[in-house]
Structures are given as C-alpha cells and as structure tokens.
Amino acid sequence: MEKKNFILRFDQVGINDVNIVGGKNSSLGEMYTNLTQQGINVPNGFAITADAYTFFLEESGITVKIREILSDLDTYNLKSLQQKGKEIRELILNSELPDRLKGDIKKAYHALCKGSGKKNLDVAVRSSATAEDLPNASFAGQQETFLNVRGEEELFDACKKCFASLFTDRAISYRVDKGFDHFSVRLSIGVQKMVRSDKGSSGVMFTIDPETGFKDAVFINSAYGLGENVVQGAVNPDEYYVFKPTLKKGFRAVLSKKLGSKKIKMVYGKGGTKNVSLPKKYQDSYSLADDETLTLAEWACVIEDYYSKKYGRFTPMDIEWGKDGVDGKLYILQARPETVHSMKQHRVLEKYSLKKEGKILAKGMSVGEKIGAGKARVIRNVSEIHDFKKGEVLVTDMTSPDWEPVMKIASAIVTNRGGRTCHAAIVSREFGVPCLVGTNDATEKILDGTGVTVDCSRGIEGYVFDSILDYEVKRLNLNELPKLKTRIMMNVGIPEQAFACSFIPNDGVGLARVEFIINSHIKVHPLALINFEKLEDKSVKKKVGSLTLGYEDKGRYFVDKLSQSVALIAAAFYPKEVIVRLSDFKSNEYSNLVGGKLYEPKEENPMIGWRGASRYYSDSYSKAFALECKALKKVRDDMGLANVKVMVPFVRTVEEGKAVVEEMAKNGLKQGVNGLEVYMMCEVPSNVILADKFLDIFDGFSIGSNDLTQLTLGLDRDSELVSSIYDERNEAVKKLISDVIKIAKKKGKKIGICGDAPSTFADFAKFLVDCGIDSISLTPDAVIKTILKVNESEK
C-alpha cells in the first residue's frame, strides 16, 4: 500500500482510471486535460484516490466491522437499513485519517491554493465512486458533495464525510439493486476550485431530452446561486432547449425558454452553504442570457461528440455547470454518461392513456410518459419513509438520495418542488416510475391515504386525479410496419408533445396549427400587444403587463413565444417538412383572448366571416399578421429550421391569395427565398373550381375536409341541429376532392389532406389512396392504424 499514489492531479487522470479515481474524477480529468484547449472552462483540482480510501479503512481497522454489520442486510427492511447505515457512517466519522494520508492531502491542497493565488482557497469536495457514472448505472446523487470548504481541517473533515457517504442508506440499497458488492465499490474524492456561482447561476444540462430521449436537443436547467438546489430539486429552475443540428451550423437555435419560480438561492454560509430568499425581480428574470445558453449548448455538443468518439458509440451526457459571478465566466463542473434513454430501444412504441378522467388535485411537470395509480402516502420527512408500502404513491415536498429505498417501490412520485433534472426526476426515470415535479402544493391538496392517479402521459404538463382510474398501455414494434408510397404525415398543434410524436413513424408534419400556441402560450390578442401603451381598459392592461413581464416591446413577446413553440415542432421532425398553418381563429375565438373584445367585431356567423386570409392583408389586422410572419422568419432564418413551410387557410378568391403572398413578402417571408414554399388550404369550393389559378400562386394544396364539407353541404358544422347531415364521405365532397387531386397532379403540384376524415374513417383513407393523393396528415393516435390500412390499399 505504501507505494500507491493517494493523490493525482486532474491532468494526471482520464476516463480509463475509473477504478482508481471513480467516475466523476476520471471524467473531470479527461475534460481538464483534453477539452480546455477547445475553449471549455473546467476548474482545476486533484483526486484523492480509491487506494487512499482502502488505506484509511484498513489502517483504522474498520473493514471487518463493516462486513459484520452488513452480513444480514435486508434492504427492504427500512428500519434495519437505516440502523446499519447509521452505524457504519458513525464508525467512519469517529475514525482518524492516517497521518500519511493527511500529509498528502495537505500538500496537494496548498499546491492548488498556490496555483490560484489564494492562501485558503475555497474548494468543492465531491465524492467519486469507482462504480459511478457508468453507461448502464448512474449512481446519481448516491454520495455527498460539500461546497465552500476552506483550510486543511475543514478539508479533512469533508473527506471523512465523503468516505462515510459511501454507506448512506440509499447508496447501500442502490448497490444491492444493481448487483454491486459493497467492497467492490470504493470511493475517491475530487477536490476542485469552487466556481462562485453563489454570485452567479448554475444548473444541469443533458445532451438528449431527458423525457423522451429525443437526441437532437440540449436541455438546460438553470437557477441563481450554487447548483445543489437544482440537483436536489429545491427550486423550480428555468428551462431551455437548444437544437444541436442547426447550432452546429452557426444558427442561434434556442428553441424554447421557460421561466422557473426560483424562490430561493444557495450562497456561501459560515463553514459551508445556506439558502436565502431570492428577490422578486430575480425570480421573474432568466438566470441565463441567450448568448450564455448558446455557449453552454455548444460546449455540451463538444463534450458529447468527444465522449461518443472515445466510447465508440453515441453517448449522450448529463453535465453540471456553473457561472462564476465574480469573473463572469461559465464553467463545466462535471459530466457523466446519461443512463436512461441511452440504453433504451425506441423501436418499441409504448403509449399510456387514461380510459376516463377525474377531478384534478394537482398539476406539475411530468417525468416518465407513464401513468401510475395507488394509495397516496404524504410524507414530509425522510425519517418517516419506513411506513411507506410498495405500490403507494409517494407525495412529498422534494426528494434527496435518502428517499431512494422507497422511490423504487412507488407506483408514482409527486413533489412540490424541483425541475425535470432534479434528483426525483433522474431517479424515477431510472426506475421507470412516473413522477410529477414542481406542483407547488401537492402535499396540501392530496390527502394521505386516498386513492389517486398520476398521469404523465400527455407531454410536459402532468396531473394528479382524485381516484384510482383505469388506464391502458399499447405497445407496438415499429420494425414490423410496412413501407408506403403515400406519405403519412402528422397533425401536431401542441409543441410539448412534438418530441414524443417524432418517434411515431412519419414523413413530417402536414399540419402544425398555431391556434393552440396563441391560446395557451401567448393568451393575448396581438393588437392588444401592439397597442399596449394606448390601452385604456386598466384591467386588460394589467393582465397584459403581467403576462409579458420582462418585455418592454410587447410585440416581441408574441414573436418569441410563437417562434419558440413552432421551433419545437420543426426541430422534432427536422429535416422533414413541417407545414405551419397561419392562424385561423374566428372573430368569436379571437375575442376570448386577453384584450380581444377591444378589437373583434360581433358576427352572426363567424365560421364564414372574418377569418383566415381575409385578415392578413386587412388594414385592421395587417400589423398583427406582421408579428406572425416575423416569428416564422425567426424560426427559418435565425434558428436555421428551413424545413418550415407556410400554409394559408381559408382563401376565398384568387385575388385574395395574391394579396396574402405579397403581404408575407413585405414581412420577410418571400416565396422561394431560402427554399420557402407556400401552400394553401383547399377548403372552399371555389378553391376546387378555380384550382388551376390558385395553383399558379401556391406551391401546393392541403385539403381541409372539415370546412370543405361544411361549405359544400351548406351547413354550420358547429350546429348540433344539422350535425346528422355532416359527413365528409358525402358523394359531393368526395367528387370535389377527387377532382382537385387530378388537377394538382396534372399541374405537377403537391397535394395532401390534413382534415379529420382520414383519421376518423379508415375507408376514407383508402379512397384518398385510390385517388392518388401525395400525402395524408393524421392525428398522432391514428397514424399506425392508417399505415396498415393504406398498405392494404396500395397492395
């Protein structure tokens, strides 16, 4: 043992040294040695090796005692687990570090201080287990980290606490679950110069979407202060998505930004750290600037590419970062392989869905795309977890690694605090347990002992329902699906579901509606934003001001929100075609937006009134339409998502079609420039009758069977009085569809359909294939069954 190295500098270790310095330190050494030259800032430091840990245990004579304590271990007996863990930790903490080890640590610490120009340098002391950060097991949060450690004595104390943390209850339980012997896992310690993110910001990022496994996005969580709050889930952080393929081409590809509540931040305290309240102005502002977001994403790509090359396979990464508030620089604090989606096979599609709904008790950010149900067990303190039973739903404020023994047996997990990269989220993904984080008040709204259902199957937002509900799971092997001549596209209107939908077999998006985005994400009438300073209604002005916090230019709020939502859809299906239909609200729908009643007329029949194309070139609305054009231009030109095509709805006359194309060009969306194609919805009988002339203006048609049926049969599709007559399969409607397909084919123009009929009626899909349609765009749930039906027709 005397000849072993107890200390290795970061520039002396790499990823092949996991057995010596653990996963965390080997990765830090690899990056410090190889990636700092590529412009990535990694704080310097040194590793106390696993041999030092073995030396300490043997010199102290406690190895045999630990074996005795663990000899009759049962990790499912929580009281016994807690008792044995505590006994081993106290054994380690009450033992003295050998003099030789103390001397080596002291020498390395002073060398680090000298290199940094500080006498008692503040350092982070991080545990690094030799079975940690492996491609098939993350060991996330299993051991401890200690921040703002200064001087020799504090460092010695922190080292003993790190060694003891190898035997926390959750670490013991996790090793048993993963099949690791307790003495085959040893502990190294990383001592690293602190990044003063207590005065800046920090967080976590993944080079893969942590929810869906979508591999082309970097997902970043960020909050003010030291990063432990983000990792532990103590704050609801800001969220950012950046699109890798176009970022690498030099585009500013920030797909979306979501403000987190960030009520507290962790700062330096006496002999460690403490949490303080964050002033409201910081809660309401983003903790990262766009340039910083892009820099972090670029670094994430470099790290992912480097490790993928090193491991010889695609290796998505889980990365911790910090922004130093003193020097203003960004730093990478650690990086490990992501272990959930990198191991998952996406060729089997699994879809959970509720058969019925109940009363919603709580809402939050969903993790896991599954549904879980059971008796709610509200636990406010980790000391009470021994009461938890397998199959119950864990409801708590937030989890830490100490909760892991019960998390693995829960049917679902619900927390008040945390974001989608916090401990609860990471561990629940690894265990395959649905989890709802950041609900704010779940522990107050959910009664202990009541039956609940946790639904995480609908995208970013998830729900807790007030009873145990029936649900179903459908599984499909995608390798078994046939290849078609007809293009099968998708109707996508909810950006949060786009990444998940992208795994369903498809040829792109035939209809991306912006109405949901305006209704749910923007919520304000565009003219109320443009005329904000002139608003006389104080109530409306207050609501608009509240929604657009941080935006002096209220029009920019509309452009940012719309562009980010469209970009999520476009990125999910990139480089496939994504056809975005311009807004098609009716006047009664527009008036429901904040401020809408100030600008919208009252029409007797809005369905055939001021909608679609008629608005865009109108003096009363053209300024609002300009915002829509700016948003789409931003997606195509700034973010590099030129796969976005534009579709104009409800064009009544040829002259109107020309006027809209001119208006778009005026606002930067010029047909043909940067490959921009402009399609038209074919949904008014005049579109079929004058199809030749309309196709001289537009690049193709997408048939809107809903409105075409309404206007062909002369009925209001919203009226239940004539609903029995409404049928897209009516002979007159089918004749118009058949005719317009022939005309488009003759002119060599694209023609598809995006109405509901092929999603609803399998025989209608067959009719379209027989007519020779180019593409059929369907709701996501109808894609698989339609592929099988179209295959029969094509045969």
Helix (H) or strand (E) holding 393: strand 393-396
Per-residue pLDDT band at 706 (split at 50, 70, 90): confident
Least confident range from 2-11, 243-252, 343-352: namely: 343-352
Least confident range from 287-291, 517-521, 780-784: namely: 780-784
Least confident range from 243-247, 329-333, 516-520: namely: 516-520
Question: Is residue 339 within 8 Å of 430, Cβ to Cβ?
Answer: yes
Q: What is the mean pLDDT of residues 34-41?
A: 95
Interatomic CA distance for residues 788 and 772, integer angstroms: 17
For the segment 100-125, what is each residue's pLDDT rounded down to a tens digit? Answer: 999 999 999 999 999 988 889 999 99
Q: What is the DSSP string of 509-558?
A: EEEEESHHHIIIII-B-HHHHHTGGG---HHHHHHHHHHTTT-SSHHHHH
**Token couple for 705:** 């069977």
pLDDT at 137: 44
Q: What is the DSSP string of 631-697?
A: HHHIIIIIS--TTEEEEE----SHHHHHHHHHHHHHTT--TTGGG--EEEEE-SHHHHHTHHHHHHH
Cis peptide preceding 575, ω within 30 of 0: yes
DSSP 134: B
pLDDT at 508: 97
Q: What is the mean pLDDT of residues 697-711?
A: 94
Q: Which residues pair with 488 in a beta bridge?
A: 776
Q: What is the mean pLDDT of residues 59-71?
A: 87
Torsion-angle region of 194 (φ positive above 0: left; ψ -120 to 50: alpha; else: beta): beta
pLDDT at 151 over 60: yes
For the segment 445-495, what is each residue's pLDDT rounded down to a tens digit? Answer: 999 999 999 999 887 789 999 999 999 998 877 777 888 899 999 999 889
The reported pTM is 0.84
For the segment 684-703, what is each residue's pLDDT rounded down to a tens digit? Answer: 999 999 999 999 999 999 99
Residue from 711, 701, 571 nearest 642 by CA: 571
pLDDT at 138: 45
Q: Which residues pair with 330 in a beta bridge?
A: 323
- Residue with the bigger pLDDT between 756 and 403: it is 403
**Token couple for 308:** 């993928």
Give me the chain's average pLDDT, please: 91
pLDDT at 604 over 70: yes
pLDDT at 555 over 80: yes
**754 part of the active site:** yes
Q: What is the mean pLDDT of residues 124-150?
A: 70
Name the burial class of residue 685, with classes exposed (0-12), middle (13-18) and buried (19+) by CB atoms within 10 angstroms of its CB. Answer: middle
Per-residue pLDDT band at 543 (split at 50, 70, 90): very high
The catalytic residue among 301, 422, 456, 754 is 754
Q: Which amino acid is at 259?
A: L
- Residue with the bigger pLDDT between 353 and 699: it is 699
**632 to 578, 640, 645: CA distances (angstroms):** 12, 11, 9
Terminal CA-CA length for the chain: 73
Question: Is residue 559 within 8 Å of 624, Cβ to Cβ?
Answer: no
Per-residue pLDDT band at 143 (split at 50, 70, 90): low
CA–CA–CA angle 244, 250, 252 (5° rounding): 70
Q: What is the mean pLDDT of residues 723-746?
A: 93
**Token couple for 647:** 């579709």
Count of other CB atoms within 10 angstroms of residue 480: 8
Q: What is the mean pLDDT of residues 399-421?
A: 86
- Residue with the bigger pLDDT between 598 and 763: it is 598
Q: What is the mean pLDDT of residues 35-55?
A: 95
Least confident range from 33-42, 231-240, 415-424, 551-560: namely: 415-424
Q: What is the mean pLDDT of residues 572-595?
A: 96
Interatomic CA distance for residues 242 and 253, integer angstroms: 6
pLDDT at 794: 82
Question: Is residue 103 within 8 Å of 55, Cβ to Cβ?
Answer: no
Interatomic CA distance for residues 55 and 4, integer angstroms: 9
The catalytic residue among 423, 521, 629, 682 is 423
Least confident range from 137-146, 295-304, 459-468, 727-736: namely: 137-146
**Token couple for 502:** 């992208």
Q: Which residues pair with 336 in a beta bridge?
A: 318
DSSP 401: G
Interatomic CA distance for residues 421 and 207, integer angstroms: 12
Question: Is residue 354 within 8 Å of 372, Cβ to Cβ?
Answer: no
647 CB contacts (<8 Å, ≥6 apart)? 511, 579, 580, 581, 582, 678, 679, 680, 681, 702
pLDDT at 292: 98
- Find where tokens 């021994």 sit: 386
Question: Is residue 612 within 8 Å of 649, Cβ to Cβ?
Answer: yes
CA–CA–CA angle 754, 733, 780 (5° rounding): 20
pLDDT at 9: 96
